[in-house]
Structure 1
Amino acid sequence: MLTFAAAVFFLIITPGPGVMTTAGFGAAYGFRPSLAYVLGLFIGTNLVMLSVMTGLAAIILSVPWLRSVLMICSVAYLLYLATRIAFAGARIAFTEAKSPPGVVGGVLLQAINPKAYAVNTSLITGFNYAPDAFLFEMITKALILNTIWIPIHLAWLWAGASLHRLNLSERTQRRINMAMALSMLGVVALALWSAKQAAG
């Protein structure tokens, strides 16, 4: 169980779409305005976990064309979120974003987030510590995952919000937002690269 908890910590703390958008929206909009988005990520993570536990994710991801559609949707949505972060507060007509996506935005990201499925699949199907008590293992895994997931994401949100609270000049804040958005694009590139490696 301790090995499982350690694996959860290291897999969740590493930057992925959820973590990067959490920090990015924290930096762009502040802590409280971004909490609804993090709540959506939390709900979405648990829905993905449930789909892995029930085998639904395995069925969906076993269909090549459907997997490709999910990847395309994921990349498109990540690009959209990167744009929201990059132009937060910018006075550029159609690109201005005054608030981060809410609960639905967080749920949607996790529903099409390749890392969410990969992490949950490796954690739920691996590290079997109660092979004769499936229900007990699934419930305790869910509790451990959530116990670690919540403080890690709140810490990333706080880290991003700390930048927001510094009351930096508009130019500096815009540069920070752009840096966060570029980091998101790096995550998108990694997702595409890993998908290509898995296909090849």
Structure 2
Amino acid sequence: MGTFALAVILLIITPGPGVLTTAGFGAAYGFKPSLRYVLGLFIGTNLVLLAVITGVAAIVLSVPWLRIVLMTASIAYLLYLAARIAFAGSKIAFMEAKTPPGILGGIALQAINPKAYVVNTSLISGFNYAPDNLPFEVITKVLIMTAIWIPLHLGWLWAGTVLHELNLSHRTQRAINIGMALAMLSVVALATWTATR
């Protein structure tokens, strides 16, 4: 179980769309306004986890055209979220984003987040520590994942919020938002490159 818990920490803490948007929205809007989005991410993560456990994800992702549609939707949504972060509070941007996406935004991200499927599949199908008692193993894995997921994401949100609360100049805050958005775009580029290999 210890190896599994360490794997959960390492796989969840590494920057992916969920973590980057959590920190980005914390930096752009603050802690409390971004909590609804994190709640949506949590619900979405558990829906993806349920799809992986039941095998629905494997069936859906085995259909080539549907995989392409989901990947295209994923890239488009990640680009949209990157723009929301980059232009948060900007008066000169083509898109001023005054509030972060809410619960549905978080659920939508996880539903089309390639990392969510890869991480959950790796964790559920690997690191077997109770092969003779599959229900026990799956239930404890879900509990361990949840116990680690919540504080890690709240920690990323807090880290972003610290930047928000530093009373930085508008120019510096905008540079941070753009940096967060560029990090999101790098994830989009990596996901696209991986999908086309």
Structure-1 separation of matches of 2:174 and 2:20: 17
Instruction: Work out the percentage of aligned pairs sharing the same amino acid.
Output: 75
Deviation at 1:195, TM superposition (A): 1.1
**In the alignment, is the contact (CA less than 8 A) between 2:49 and 2:120 conserved in 1?**
yes
Aligned residue runs from structure 1 range 44-193, under 5 A: 44-92=44-92, 94-193=94-193
Structure-2 separation of matches of 1:134 and 1:51: 17
Deviation at 1:19, TM superposition (A): 0.3
Structure-2 separation of matches of 1:46 and 1:5: 17
Structure-2 separation of matches of 1:48 and 1:55: 10
Q: For residue 61 of structure 2, what is the amino acid of its counterpart?
A: L
5+ residue gaps, structure 2, are none
1:14 aligns with: 14
Q: For residue 110 of structure 2, what is the amino acid of its counterpart?
A: Q
Query: In angstroms, what is the RMSD of aligned CA positions?
Result: 0.9
Q: For residue 175 of structure 2, what is the amino acid of its counterpart?
A: R
5+ residue gaps, structure 1, are none
Structure-2 separation of matches of 1:82 and 1:56: 29
Which aligned segments of 4 or more residues in structure 1 are displaced greater than 6 angstroms? Answer: none
Q: How many residues end up aligned between the 2 structures? A: 197
Structure-2 separation of matches of 1:112 and 1:164: 28
> TM-score scaled to structure 1, two decimals?
0.96
Deviation at 1:39, TM superposition (A): 0.4
> TM-score scaled to structure 2, two decimals?
0.98
Q: Does 1:35 align with 2:35?
A: yes
**In the alignment, is the contact (CA less than 8 A) between 2:87 and 2:93 conserved in 1?**
no
Deviation at 1:93, TM superposition (A): 6.6
SS of the residue 1:95 aligns to: coil
Q: For residue 109 of structure 1, what is the amino acid of its counterpart?
A: L
Q: For residue 128 of structure 2, what is the amino acid of its counterpart?
A: N
